[in-house]
């Protein structure tokens, strides 16, 4: 659904950028709320919202790679995108350990509470995700539909 919407949307903020930003904002909010949830049900709800929000942001990102790269570079572009997503996941998983063992942040908490190392990991994740998306939004140019069509015609993908 999101892919279809971003394929067929164009406004003053661009084609994909609105989806990048809405998804990043919602996912970051969910990441901040999740470790502070008063009940398991709220945390589960935040997980659901975070997952949906990341998809709102990331589906157009996948299409963005295809929009921006010539056909001979797309495979490498998608591979690099997958590499950085995987690297981010590994770093995020290691953050509680890193914060505890390298920075001395407590990894224990009273019963029913989340350890500070885990809380800070969520906050850092929210910041990193939002900052990466914002960097992309501010530093890349989206091509207008006419430019994309002309490029596709030049590559022989669309009969002119």
Which pLDDT band holds residue 12 (cuts at 50, 70, 90)?
Answer: confident
Q: What is the mean pLDDT of residues 129-138?
A: 94
Three-state SS annotation for 73-140:
HHHHHHHHHHHHHHHHHHHHHHHHHHHHHHHCCCCCCCCCCCCHHHHHHHHHHHHHHHHHHHHHHHHC
Q: What is the mean pLDDT of residues 139-151?
A: 78
Which domains are seen in the chain, by residue range?
Answer: 2-153 (1.20.1250.20)
Beta bridge partners, 14, equal 11
Which pLDDT band holds residue 157 (cuts at 50, 70, 90)?
Answer: low
CB 83 within 8 A of CB 91: no
**Model confidence at 154: pLDDT above 80:** no
Q: What is the mean pLDDT of residues 130-155?
A: 83
């Amino acid at each position: 659904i999101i892919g279809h919407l971003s394929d067929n949307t164009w406004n003053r903020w661009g084609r994909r950028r609105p989806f990048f930003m809405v998804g990043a904002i919602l996912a970051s909010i969910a990441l901040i709320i999740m470790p502070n949830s008063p009940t398991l049900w709220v945390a589960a709800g935040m997980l659901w919202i975070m997952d949906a929000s990341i998809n709102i942001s990331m589906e157009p990102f996948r299409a963005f790679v295809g929009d921006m790269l010539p056909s001979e570079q797309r495979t490498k572009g998608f591979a690099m995108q997958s590499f950085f997503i995987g690297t981010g996941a590994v770093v995020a998983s290691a953050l509680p350990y890193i914060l505890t063992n390298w920075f001395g942040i407590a990894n224990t908490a009273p019963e029913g509470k989340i350890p500070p190392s885990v809380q800070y990991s969520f906050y850092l994740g929210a910041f990193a995700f939002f900052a990466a998306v914002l960097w992309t939004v501010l530093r890349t140019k989206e091509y207008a539909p006419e430019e994309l069509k002309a490029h596709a015609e030049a590559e022989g993908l669309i009969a002119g």
